[in-house]
C-alpha cells in the first residue's frame, strides 16, 4: 500500500509566517475548501495557490509527553538519546524524547528493504471514494512538481484506507468582533499557538494575546 502524506512532518522554515486568511471560515471549521477535480486524469494543472494549513506545530525544544517505551515497537526500542534540556528537566533516565529523536526513529524503521519507495511525500489526497464493483478505494492525488508552477494529478487504487489527518491541523480561532480588522491593520498581531516557536519573540512585551 502506498501512503499519501500532506507533507513530511519536519519543522517549518525559519522565515515561515503563519497565515490566517478567513476568520469566519476558521470559526465555522470550514476553511480548507476542497479543490475542483480535473475532468480527466492523469493530468497536469497550474499549481494550486489556495492556502492549505500545512504548517507543523513543531518548535525547536518540542519533546514528547509520553514514555518512549509506550511509543516504540517491542523489537525496535527507541535509542537512548536525550537532549541536555531534557536531562536538566527530567534526569539522566528521562522517559521522554526530543522530536528529532522521534523523527529519526520513524525514518530508521522506514528506510530499509525498499520501504521508503512506498511512501509519497508532499502529496495531498483530494478525493476518496469506494468503487463497489471492484470493492476497492480510489484515491485522487495531487503533487506539486519541482518547477513550482504545476501540479500533477492522478488516481491510485487501494484495498484499505487509514484516515490519520490529525485533529489540530487547522487552527481554531473563535469568531471575535474586530479581530479581522486588527489582523488587517496590524499584520502579525494575531497568532495562533500552533505558530509558537520560541519565547524570545514575546520576551518583554505586553498586551499580546496568543489564541
The overall average pLDDT reported for the chain is 88
130-173 pLDDT, tens per residue? 999 999 999 999 999 999 999 999 999 999 999 887 777 888 99
Query: What is the reported pLDDT for 113?
Result: 85
Residue 55: alpha-carbon gap to chain centroid:
6
- Collect contacts of 96-102 with beta carbons under 8 A, ≥24 apart: 96/63, 96/64, 96/65, 96/66, 96/67, 96/68, 97/63, 97/64, 97/68, 98/61, 98/62, 98/63, 99/58, 99/62, 99/63, 99/64, 102/64, 102/71
What is the arithmetic mean of pLDDT over 55-63? 90
Question: Could you state, in order of their start, the residue ranges of all structural domains in the chain?
Answer: 3-56+119-201
Check pLDDT > 70 for residue 27: yes
Element (H, E) at 140: strand 136-144
Query: What is the reported pLDDT for 134?
Result: 95
With bands split at pLDDT 50, 70 and 90, how would you rate the model's confidence at 6?
Answer: very low
Query: What is the reported pLDDT for 127?
Result: 95
190-210 pLDDT, tens per residue? 889 998 888 888 888 876 555
Query: What is the reported pLDDT for 208?
Result: 52
Strongest mean pLDDT among 24-33, 49-58, 133-142: 133-142
Amino acid at each position: 500500500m502506498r501512503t499519501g502524506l500532506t507533507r513530511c512532518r519536519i519543522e517549518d522554515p525559519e522565515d515561515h509566517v503563519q497565515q490566517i486568511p478567513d476568520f469566519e471560515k476558521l470559526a465555522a471549521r470550514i476553511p480548507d475548501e476542497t479543490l475542483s477535480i480535473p475532468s480527466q486524469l492523469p493530468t497536469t494543472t497550474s499549481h494550486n495557490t489556495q492556502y492549505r494549513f500545512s504548517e507543523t506545530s513543531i518548535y525547536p525544544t518540542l519533546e514528547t509527553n509520553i514514555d518512549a517505551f509506550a511509543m516504540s515497537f517491542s523489537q525496535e526500542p527507541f535509542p537512548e538519546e536525550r537532549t541536555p534540556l531534557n536531562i536538566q528537566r527530567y534526569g539522566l533516565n528521562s522517559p521522554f524524547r526530543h522530536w528529532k529523536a522521534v523523527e529519526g526513529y520513524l525514518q530508521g524503521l522506514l528506510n530499509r528493504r525498499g520501504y521508503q519507495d512506498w511512501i509519497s511525500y508532499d502529496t495531498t489526497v483530494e478525493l476518496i471514494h469506494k468503487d463497489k464493483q471492484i470493492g476497492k478505494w480510489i484515491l485522487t492525488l495531487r503533487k506539486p512538481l519541482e518547477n513550482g508552477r504545476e501540479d500533477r494529478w492522478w488516481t491510485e487504487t487501494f484495498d484499505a484506507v487509514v484516515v490519520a489527518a490529525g485533529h489540530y491541523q487547522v487552527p481554531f480561532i473563535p469568531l471575535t468582533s474586530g479581530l479581522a480588522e486588527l489582523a488587517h491593520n496590524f499584520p502579525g498581531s494575531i497568532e495562533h499557538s500552533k505558530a509558537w516557536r520560541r519565547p524570545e519573540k514575546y520576551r518583554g512585551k505586553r498586551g499580546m494575546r496568543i489564541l
